[in-house]
Structure 1
Amino acid sequence: MMPGRITNWLRGEGEAEAEAVARLAAAKDAAEAANEAKTRFLASVAHEIRSPLNAIYGYAQLIERGEGKDALGAAKVIRRSAEHLAHLVEGLLDIAQVEGGAMSLTREAIRFPEFLDQLMAMLELQAQAKGLALVLERPERLPEFVHADPKRLRQVMINLLANAIKFTDHGSVTLKVDYRNQLATFTVIDTGIGIAPEDAGRIFAPFERVGGPAGERPGVGLGLAITQALVHIMGGEIRLESAPGEGSRFMVRLMLSEPLTPPSEPAPQAGAVTGYLGRERWVLLIDDEPAHLAVVCGLLEPLGFQVRSARDAASGLALAAQLQPDLVLCDVALGSENGWEVAAQLRRRHGAALRIVMLSGEAPVSEGAGTDHDGFIMKPFAFDTLIDMIESQLGIEWVRAAGAPRAAPPELAGAAALPRIIAPLAAAHCAEIERLVRIGHVRAIEAEIDRIAALAPEAVPLAERMRASLDSFDLKALANLARSVRADAA
């Protein structure tokens, strides 16, 4: 090989080696960036859940120590905070929808002053813990009702207020509300550390941290990114005014129209369930989480059920053989064991007479999962959901406390109000909704309702009624509505 060719060959080898080294360095940088993004994401998740969790934790401690002056009021705050946590979990799963512009909103009449008071109650303990004054400023006259998506509006306001409390060490956090010509303006004002001009441009970017070294305070991270996206989806705007050491003002403007006529008061509900008629029923709980076992036992035993519990598969199967229960409530994830396999063994040993209901924080991952069960409930669940499931599985009749009988929902003109071409399509979606209600797959139900609304303008009222039932977690009413539509279309 000629010397010139050798030189060129060596040069080519050197360039190839340099390119390989550069690719490895780029891959290393990408891996480090991904790891850093994961760390920021986990911190952001903690930021999102801390506010309602603090309300639950604080009020629970007060009740436990017997220092709660208003136990009923504390229970309401705990319940609302728990509901908000559940909504936040759904919100985290909706991030991809937010970024893709595919998120849908509900529109319902909410009590505006009551909504604001609930926000203050949820964050009061967090502000008190830092010695801050939490102030609500609102005009004397506010509309009693406005149209909004309460879940998303609550998420926006709690994100802003919680951030203000977090980055304020002395003084106050104020929520100022104005309402004129259907336009609501929410201004969150704090006396905190403020935000530098160079940070103001990136504060709404996902996973960004400002306001001090990472770890000194939980970063705003995901919270403000989701907040800005939600405000834009709701057709509003969000602005920031701040300076270091002078506090911050976040201003959100949204169109929240007043209903033309005040919504009718909800029909009085039947009294609380206090027992059931007929022979004594036995229920077996299989769950590796002691707190969950205690909660379900605390609900069912006062109603007259004989309840036994097991924390693993072997104990559960042995108890089932000994007790011959009427109903088994089995968690899907039993530590390292599989609840679906437990259900399959129960079915083989006891046959169809034993009713098996699975409980899980996730919907079945495949069509083959859980073929041996009779019902499915998603965690977290409302007590009424479990009560309705037991009623449907055991066919029992409840004894209720004194109260007005549950009013039947107003009749819907069902498929008769839909175009003849549209009715069978709506009925098909309703059949799927009935199936999804049985397994408690809320997000999939929302998607089916959206598909019904997209069929034709005439289908929108039906979709809105379904959304109202889903938002109040009245799955029984939703299933009945879907069933009536299918019957009318038949």
Structure 2
Amino acid sequence: MKGALDSLRAWASHALSHAGRRIAPGSAGCTKSEREALMQEIALLERRCADLERANTAATAANQAKSRFLASASHEIRSPLNSIYGYAQLLERNEGRNALQAARIIRRSSEHLASLVEGLLDLSHVESGALRLQREVIRFPALLEQVVDMFEPQAEAKGLHFRLECPPKLPEFVRGDQKRLRQVLINLVSNAIKFTDSGQVTLKVAYRNDLAIFEIADTGIGIGPDDIDHIFDPFHSRSDELAKRPGVGLGLSITQALVQVMGGEIRVESRLGEGSRFTVRLMLSQPQSHPADTTPTTVITGYSGRRRTILVVDDDEAQRSLLASLLEPLGFTVLTAGDADSAVAIAGESGPDLVLLDITMPGRTGWDVADALRQAHGTTIRIVMLSANAHEHHPGGDGDMPNDMFLLKPFEFSNLLDVISAQLWIEWTGSGSSAAGRAAEGVPDVRPPLPAATRPHFAEIERLVRTGHVRGIESQIDAIAASHPAALPVAQEMRACLDAFDLKALAAIARTSQNDAV
């Protein structure tokens, strides 16, 4: 860029000098029209030089901003990585005095790294228009409590008072993208605590007519007039006081992008030295029906119903071992495969209920395996892509892709359990679960078996869901309800899903019930 600009400057200078001699008073062989043409040429060259100067200035500023960002990002990566590396070495040498504390530090550091990577990916997805939103049922108060639980220790460590203000009649459930909503709140609360040295941070929530308003206010250093107009710009060169604080400077850019993608708006009010207030407005409608299990599980120890089989396919042995260690204690039969051919063969022999499938493997990819499994087994096997390849993210479940769902690595164990529960339509048991509560009341965990006569109706519902034939689905549900008293609870669940037009959940119930009918 600089070389091209210097060359153009030299050429323009020569051209201007030559043109100046040609149009100078008393010069021979230059008519009035030629002088006018030369004047226009000079003006054009001057405009081009000015445009190039501005472009060069902007490019230099952008390069400097990105250099600062890379230096900051390097620090943000190396700090938690050093904690992970150091504590892992201590545990490996059996020199860790407190293994539980080491595990917590490793987990927090890993979450920080994952958040940084997710933020960069989110920004690139938003800029390319490839960011996809999930529409799911969110436990609204529980989500807010999670954010408070996450940041209360951090606020207390700085001597800050962190409080949540909610109306008494906040809806228990709303619909939206839980991951993105949580990310927006975490980014804003994290910033408020980061830039507040004394006083308080408040998360205030209001809800009316499906409109949720979040206000995150602090008594921190505030934002100056030079920064307020560019606070949401990525790679913006911040003032010295803001730049002193840790971070890569992408949080607010990502937050604004996520809010806009979700159809909302975000505003900021701030005075230097007095604090800031960020306001987010989002439409979060209430679902027509609540999830079947409305009691959050605190400690999951198993699940009700027959034993399920899960096939884990990953070329990394450590990943296969990790998933087996997580799932086998819960009562699952876990089979593993390290390549595509083994996965297809094992699935053909054992007929697993669910396949957790990596994408990048030697030879055939995970998508090839998913296609083969879908052709061989139809919808009787649920397929969840469990991969770190964010660029191949396809949510699935729409009939266009062979997978039913996609979970990006690294993942929260609770998120994996949510996915398994949704795909296999199982109910968790354990401390705090609804199944445990019913057991304490003397109610059996396992429902009465469904009659074999209902199996064709469930199969027909699966087919009708793919075409969206609502009246036909209603007819089949009525037939199931009339077949046997034991089928009434399932019919009621299916009607609730149909009322909410949650066809994915409806298909899951039909598929599971078809397998369970005897």
Partner of 1:404: 445
Question: What secondary structure does 1:223 align onto?
Answer: helix
Please state if 1:194 is matched with 2:222.
yes
Quickly say closer, same or farther: Cα 1:273–1:116, change in 2 above 3 A: closer
Quickly say closer, same or farther: Cα 1:36–1:324, change in 2 above 3 A: farther
Letter in 2 for 1:404: D
Quickly say closer, same or farther: Cα 1:35–1:356, change in 2 above 3 A: farther
Would you say the 8 A contact 1:44–1:222 is kept in 2?
no
Partner of 1:243: 272
Partner of 2:430: none
Which residue of the other structure, out of 331, 335, 344, is the alignment partner of 2:358? Answer: 331
Partner of 1:161: 189
Please state if 1:95 is matched with 2:126.
yes
Q: CA deviation at 1:342?
A: 11
Letter in 2 for 1:65: A
Would you say the 8 A contact 1:173–1:188 is kept in 2?
yes
How far apart, in 2, do the equivalents of 1:44 and 1:464 lie? 46
How far apart, in 1, do the equivalents of 2:261 and 2:206 lie? 19
Please state if 1:340 is matched with 2:365.
yes
Normalization by structure 2: what TM-score? 0.49
How far apart, in 1, do the equivalents of 2:161 and 2:324 lie? 38
Partner of 1:272: 302
CA deviations 1:420-476 (Å, max 9, x no partner) are xxxx9995579xxxxxxxxxxxxxxxxxxxxxxxxxxxxxx969533xx8xxxxx66
Letter in 2 for 1:95: V
Q: CA deviation at 1:376?
A: 7.0
Would you say the 8 A contact 2:119–2:250 is kept in 1?
no
CA deviations 1:219-260 (Å, max 9, x no partner) are 55452563487279656663413223x32233456677889x
Please state if 1:230 is matched with 2:259.
yes
Partner of 1:370: none
How far apart, in 1, do the equivalents of 2:347 and 2:160 lie? 56
Would you say the 8 A contact 1:356–1:375 is kept in 2?
yes
Larger Rg: 2
Quickly say closer, same or farther: Cα 1:109–1:406, change in 2 above 3 A: farther
Which residue of the other structure, out of 143, 168, 171, is the alignment partner of 1:145? Answer: 171
User: Which runs of structure 2 are paired with 1:172-211 in the superposition (5 Å)?
Assistant: 172-177=200-205, 186-211=214-239
How far apart, in 1, do the equivalents of 2:343 and 2:207 lie? 61
Which residue of the other structure, out of 321, 325, 329, is the alignment partner of 1:294? Answer: 321
Question: What secondary structure does 2:201 align onto?
Answer: strand
Letter in 1 for 2:222: G
How far apart, in 1, do the equivalents of 2:448 and 2:256 lie? 38
% identical equivalent positions: 29
Would you say the 8 A contact 1:182–1:256 is kept in 2?
yes
Q: CA deviation at 1:120?
A: 0.2
Quickly say closer, same or farther: Cα 1:216–1:271, change in 2 above 3 A: closer
Would you say the 8 A contact 1:47–1:223 is kept in 2?
no
Which residue of the other structure, out of 99, 107, 115, is the alignment partner of 1:65? Answer: 99
Partner of 2:478: none
Would you say the 8 A contact 1:109–1:263 is kept in 2?
no
Bigger drift between 176-185 and 200-209 goes to: 176-185
**Structure 1: where are the runs of 5+ without partners?**
367-372, 392-399, 409-423, 431-460, 470-474, 485-490
Normalization by structure 1: what TM-score? 0.51
Please state if 1:136 is matched with 2:163.
yes
Please state if 1:465 is matched with 2:491.
no
How far apart, in 2, do the equivalents of 1:232 and 1:198 lie? 27
Partner of 1:218: 247
Would you say the 8 A contact 1:142–1:179 is kept in 2?
no
Letter in 2 for 1:230: V
Question: What secondary structure does 1:333 align onto?
Answer: coil
Could you say what the CA RMSD is over the residues aligned between the two structures, in angstroms?
6.8
Q: CA deviation at 1:166?
A: 1.6
Q: CA deviation at 1:65?
A: 3.4
